[in-house]
Structure 1
Amino acid sequence: MNLLYHVVEASEWARQEGQPVYSAGSLETESFIHLSTREQLPGVLDRYYRNAPNLLVLHIDADKLVHELRYEQATNNELFPHVYGPINKDAVVAIDSNDDVK
């Protein structure tokens, strides 16, 4: 299984509960949803979500994604996975609170 990770506020995940797909705000503003590898996840949580409460980490099986997945260079020259469309929820294989993965 090729796992990738996405951080989302618990309230946003709950708001989309009855939907077959999950759509992050970045899909509208940047045309993709930000994902991370397991190795990148601690840095992402520290840089962007350090004091944010009530976060969830979605474990996503990249092989089940129905939209295009690209690894693209970020400002720090690191390659990050981006999915160019909403995430089909059958690709989400587990969900943890951010405290469980730090």
Structure 2
Amino acid sequence: MPDAADATILHLTERALWDASRARGVYEMSTRGRTLQEEGFVHCSTAAQLPGVAEAFYAGLDDLVVLVVDPALLDAEVRYEGGFPHVYGPIPVNAVVEVRAWPGE
């Protein structure tokens, strides 16, 4: 479990997927090429884990964004499994408190 310094969790995604989700009001992708429905949860990470996730799953993709998610604003359960935060339901767009370009500018 994270300490108070890790109050938010992060999710890396393609900007186009995030933009489409904003129009629907919820984000429902799990990871690259897999939906929440297919995977059962949304893969997230901590700040320390994010570079490894980017390298392992998003290498070669441009126009990525990091969704900064406040777990307190989620209706879904967040479970830490294998050290990674997993969100067991859709992420409402209002739970995304910041969107950052990846890699950082």
TM-score range, shorter chain: 0.7 to 0.9
Matches within 5 A, 1:56-95: 56-73=65-82, 79-95=83-99
RMSD across aligned positions (CA): 1.5
Please give the TM-score of this superposition, normalised by the length of structure 2. 0.83
Per the alignment, residue 21 of structure 1 pairs with: 26
Cα shift at 1:85: 0.5
Instruction: Structure 1: give runs of 5+ residues left out of the alignment.
Output: 74-78
1:4 matched to 2:13? The reply is: no
Q: Structure 1 segments of 4 or more deviating over 2 A?
A: none
Please give the TM-score of this superposition, normalised by the length of structure 1. 0.86
How high is the sequence identity, in percent, across the aligned residues?
39
Equivalents in 1 of 2:101, 2:28: separation in Å? Answer: 19
**Alignment length (residue pairs):** 96
